[in-house]
Every structure is written in structure tokens, then in C-alpha cells.
Structure 1
Amino acid sequence: MNPNTIKEKGQGSIKIIAYSITYLFIFLSLIPLVWMISSSLKDASSIQAYPPKWLPTIPHAIQVQIDYTGQESKDAEFYEKDAMKATWYPWASNIRDSIGEVVIRGMKDGKLIYTAKTSGPSFLYGRTLVVPTTLFNDNLMNVKLPVIQANKLSTFQWFGDHGEIANELENSKELISTHFRDFYATSKYVSGKVQSIEEKPRFWSIFDSYLILDKVTKAASSNGSGFTHYFLNSVIVTLGSIVSQLLFGGLAGYALSFLIHNKKLNLVLVMFFLATLMIPDIALLIPLYLTMTQLNLIDTLWAIILPHTAWGIVIFLFKGFFDQLPRELIQAARVDGASEFRTFYQIVIPMSIPIFTVVSVLTFLPVWNEFLWPLVVAKSPANWTITVALNNLQYQGGSISENMLMASGVISMIPLLIVFITCQKFIEKGVAFTGVKG
């Protein structure tokens, strides 16, 4: 044993307990995140399953082969309607099954006369348009086929007499295939004879809720704004707030550190900026709203950005960091005839990247997650940020399912993770230079 090493009694036990508690809290805090990501990959029925399922069910692709041999030849529109009946009716009847794609292959005299394909995202989007209920009839597809064609919900490729000889499909006996087979056997909506149904896993279909999210939210919106539009609004608001904080906060911190030499005045100004932290945000809600009303900025993105142009804590952090910079460089720049703006731009900013990063992150987090203020001033959906949109999506009823809500939550969280991962080193360095202890 090294004689210079002194260990207190029980030190090892305390360390084990401390690490165990830390890892336990990390594990518990990750449970909601894991559940949200997992639920975004599930189908709507799996989310509501009891007992709860942590892993998503892999969707399956269904291929149905229909034979028209012996029947009178019809035009392409007749077969397209028949293919849509063979796709949308059984899929809607078995909506709780995890289906990623349905492909219908029409055969006649051993030749392939058409193929029709419908993907999971298209069905999720078009179900309320085409088959809002499970009450079907022969004439329904006469009305719904133009809807399917206009929205490009299904693809139909017609070969006619030029089709190639196609091999028989492998007749699957799995659950979804059985459900489809039972539907065809008990209904007479499909004119052709169902020969075989093949079922295979389709892994990438677990991401269908992400692929269809923008289209569904755009259809549910009163003005046609989709999830991408709300996401871009949040990006614009957040970037505008960060730029204004860096510009005005940086200049104010520079002025307090290098331009105001009266110590009493400097102290009074610093205390004034710190005093603004004591004012609750909710107390400023009405004054800010009245101010934006007088400026005719209500229901604009500017109304969301302007209250975030300069925070007292940001000015304080900039001043704390600038106080650590060598005064000799600033004096040398002034002797060489550099203006204050040039000194700030060419000397102070390059040496202050860590604090600029810290301020960017400190601004990004609350502005990106802000809900109340955008909800108050952004009245129309065109100016909603992602937080306001998420709140509205949960009241859209059947058009927005739970897995789409979870997917929207995961997407909104991705910028936060990117910021933390990429800026962690600069945050630690910047906080160390500001003199702020934590």
C-alpha cells in the first residue's frame, strides 16, 4: 500500500452509493424518452395494448393475387376499381393489424394484367377520405376512386394484353393473411377470384408515422400548414432570438467591461440587469401583449422574437467573461486607431467563442420550448411554433393518431440533442471563464 495514500473509512461505500443513485436517476429519467421513441414506431393499436409493449411490432407487406380468367374483358378503370376494393376495404376492416403495404396483382390467362400498390403512409392519410367507416358497398368505389387518384394514395399500373407471365405467390397462413382471406371469402366486392396471399415483414414501415406526419397535419390544419411549417417557424424564432441576444447582449457586456469606467455607475447598471431576473415572466405577459398590440405586431413571428432580444442574465454572463480578457489587447487596438466596433468584432469576439456558445445554448433551450407566449400572440396557425402546434394536434381527433403525436415529439427533441452533443465542450469552457460557480 502506498504510504502517501490516505483513505477514510467507508469512502468506498459512499462512492458506490453515490454512483448507484446517480445511475438510477439517469435510468428513470430515460424511461419517458424511450417510451416516446418506441411509441412513435408503433401502430395505433399497439400503443393502446395492455399489458404495454415496449418494442414496436414489425409491419407486414401483403401481396394479393387475383385471377380474372374466364371473365369478360373490361377496361382499365374497371380493374383499377376492383384493385382498390381489394386493398382499401379489407385494410379498413382490419385496421388494428400492423400492415405496411398492400400490393394487388391482377392475372388473366396466366398473364399479369395490372399491379396496384398502396403504402402504409398513404393509407394512414387517406383512410378518413376513402373509408371513414367499415360500411362498404359496390358503388362506394365509384365515388372514392377519383379521391384516391387526386391524392395519389395508390399507384395503378395497367399492362393489359402486354403483361408478362407471372409466378404464383407463396400462400401465407399468418394472421394478417388469414384476416384478408376471410374478408374476401365473406364478401363479394371483388370481381376476381383471390388465388393466393403472400405476407412478408416490412421493417422500414415502422417509420410510417414520420413519413406521413407533415401530410396529415397539413390536411388537419385550417390553412394548410403542416408540421414542417411549424418546425421552420420555431427555427426562425429561435435563430432570431439567438442572434439578437448575441448582438445586443454582447455589445452591452462589452460596454460594461471596457467603456464605463465609473465603478458606481457600472455596479448600478449590473444590479439593474440582475434585478430583471426577479420579475416573474407571467407578470410581464399583459404589458408585453399591450406593447405588441400598439406596434401592430400581434399574430406575427416578430411578436414572439422581440421579447427575447436582450436578457439581463445574458448581459451579466458577457460582462463576467469579458472581465477575464487581457486589457492590454484592447488598449493596443485603441492605440492603433481601431474603433470600438472593430475592436469588438476582430479582437473580442474571436477570444469569446465559448461564452457566445453558452449564451446561444441558454437562449435556444427556453425559446425552443416556449409555449405560453407564442400561444398568446400567434393566433393563426400560419404563425404557430412547434410547441403550439403540438398542443393543437392532440385535439384533432381521429385524424392524428397517438404514434404521430409521439413522432412529432421525437422530431421536436432532435435539435435539443444536437445542441447538447455538439456544444458541451464550449459550455463547460465558457462557464469556467465567466466566474459563475455551480
Structure 2
Amino acid sequence: MIKNNKKSVPEGVFRTVISSMSHEGRGIAKINGKTTFIPFVLTGEEIEFEYSKCKLSYDEGKLVRVLNASSERVTPPCQYFEICGGCTFQHISPDAQIRFKEQTLLSHFKHFGAGLVPKEILLPLRSASSEAYRTKARLGVRYVHKKNKVLVGFRERDGRFLADIDSCQVLHQDIGHNLTILQNFIQDLSIYREIPQIEVAVDEKVTALIIRHLAPFSDEDLTKITVFAQVHHFWIYLQAKGPDTVTRFYPMVDQEPIEMSYRLNDYDLNIYFAPNDFTQVNQDINNKMLKQALELLDVNKDDVVLDLFCGLGNFSLPLATKAKYVVGIEGDLEMTQRAKINANKNGLENIAFYPGNLFEDISKHPWILENRFNKLSLDPPRAGAEMVCRQIDKINPKRIVYVSCDPATLARDAGILVNEKRYKLLSAGVMDMFPHTTHVESIAVFGK
């Protein structure tokens, strides 16, 4: 017999005061001892709301009216904020967003890190602008018959459908200001129903679009794509199946360099990448993050540094301009090869890259056996670096800088380093890599 964990939803408008915020940015109200989650509200606000969902352990509500607004409330800059799931926090001032992210990080240290408290809270790294900062995105595409319209953009807040938006404040302006043009272009193709996704990548000179298609384009389609690319100065890539099928369509490979690139002026470096490679979405914060990470790692010409989860060499290459020798490790073989190309193109000889699975035993890898590292840089995916931290004795660095895109896994791994491996959590802080969202990018420093 299947138990029903839902309850009937009370009808009417109710009044409450928001007591706190959840980590995903919803307001929390305690009503008759039960937690109710309500979006678009702030701590301390008195509101009216309607129940939208009731379960045994918690309820969900929909904001009707703010009766007593918080001083941290602002007018969202985007007209689509309440329907589009691309942003969460446009109703909150930038300063309050940063404080929320700092508190989220500290809360995770306490909960997942067994009560850890950093000795120092770093000043947050702020974006020069909270608009048009996003240079990488994966946009959904869908033809909606009832609207007779192709939609391009992010999903609605409930995740079921694409949001009907004509512009985006956080996407780079080449795309964010031209969603309608992109929608009309897709709808003019013969297979507009067979295009589920467009991936966007922007560098300092080029905006590239990877068009995922589930059916072949006609000759007329290909002509239209060429004209569209020429008029709007886009590079166009086509993807028929998996990521390995991404090929450049316009301009032809022999007409322009294959790579896109971004510049790291502080280190006189260019990082070359393909449009479907992982790169940071916010280049302003990326530059500030690199400067902070190298300062915290205190790199000098006597250091031998290990950079794990190195990707294209975003950290490895700047480290090589300061250290005696750098070794970068990446799980993806193709990314490792691209990192080697980046080192060669930038004339760096004191650096080596190896492929390696960092979620397994690392003791037999050649880079462990051949080098003695005194400093370690980590920038893992959301899963974190648990296996590396549990095997940290095999590396034995004196100082560790850990950059994280998930505060929960950072806190878990910090707990291992401090409580089991006898490191000290010297400092930690947040970086506003994704303004207007609850995404917390953070950095932590450990020492012996």
C-alpha cells in the first residue's frame, strides 16, 4: 500500500513573518510549528501568501503581497524575474546577496565540516557588473504550438517548461539582447521542432553558438544559417549527437583560427578553448579569483605546485609564471591535451599535464612518484575532492588552496583535512561568480 505524503491545500490568503532563508533562497516561515517555504521574500518581512503545496513535513506557499518590506529589498532589473528560473535573487540588494552567500558557506562549514570556523573571513570578490556577465550558457529551445512560437532561454521556476522571454539581463549582450532574433532564426528553419538546445560561448572577440539538432538540416537551412552568422557576426557550430560531434560550420576552419581564447593580463597569458570546453562564466571574477588564489598560496620560485582538476590550465598556467615547477592533473584526456597546447602557445616549459582519475587511488600515478610537491591547488567539480583529501598524506603539501563551486562538498572535505589530517583552516570566503543566483563559489586556505 502506497502512503500519500500530501495533504489538502488550505484555501485563502494567510499572513506570516519570514524568519529566515533556506540555502536555495526561499523564505522560511514557521506556522503552527511547521516549516513553510515561500519564494521572493526576505528575512523579517511580513507578507500575505497562499498555500500552493502541502506535505507531511513541510508546506510551500506563493507570495501574494509584501506588507512590511525589508530594507534589503530592491526592484528586480529584469521583467521576467518571477517566471524565469535563470535568476533567484534579483529582488535582493547586491550587498545582501553577498552576505547570504557568506552565511551559507559558514553554515555548511558548521553542518558538514563538524563545526569548523575559519580563522579569517576573506573579503568577498565582487563582480564589476551584475548584468551581462555570463559568457557561457546552455539555453533550451522549444516550439510551443499554442503560441506558434519558438522559445529560447532558461526554464521556468518549476522546471517544467521553457520561460517565454525576449531578453536576458545576465547573459552577455550579444545573446541577452538578441533572444528574439535567435528565436525567429530557429523558427525559420525547416527542422525547428528538432532543435532542443543552443550552447553559447563568448570570448573577447567572438560569440559562438553550438546548435544541437536531432534531424539533418536541408541545403536551404544551411544557407540560412550562413547568412544569419554573417549578418550577426556569430561563429556557428553544429552538433548532431554527443559532444564529440560538435563541428564548426561557419566560418570554415581554414578561414579563421579554430580556438577561442580569453586573456589573463596579470600573467601575460592567453587561454585557448573550444566553445564546448568548460570555462568560468564570469571572466571578471575569474581574473580576481586567480589573483587571490595565487596570493593565498604564496607561490614563489622555489615552489613545486600540484594543480588538481586543472582543466585547460586556468590555474596551472598562472602558477607556472610564479613557481619553479607546476604539474596539472585533469580527468578528461582531451582537456589535458588542450592544457598542453596552452602551455606551448604561451611558451611555458616549467609545467607538465597528465590525465588522471582523481576519484580513485592516486598512489600509483607517475606524477605522484616523480615529484615532491609543497603546495596544492584544487578546483574540483560539484562532487568535490573527497578522495584526494583522504589521500592527502601521499602529496603532503604545506599549503592548500581549495576553490569550490559547492559549499557543502567544500565543508565536507575541509572536515577531512582539519579533523583527520591535522591541517588548519586558515581562511575562507566567497566569490560572486553568479550574481542574482544562490550559487556559492568559494575559496578556502589550509596550512600545517
TM-score, length-normalised on structure 1?
A: 0.23
| Greater helix content | 1
TM-score between the two structures when normalised by the length of structure 2 = 0.22
Using CA pairs below 8 Å that are at least 6 residues apart, which structure has the higher relative contact order? Answer: 1
Rg larger in 1 or in 2?
1
Task: Give 1 or 2: higher strand fraction.
Answer: 2
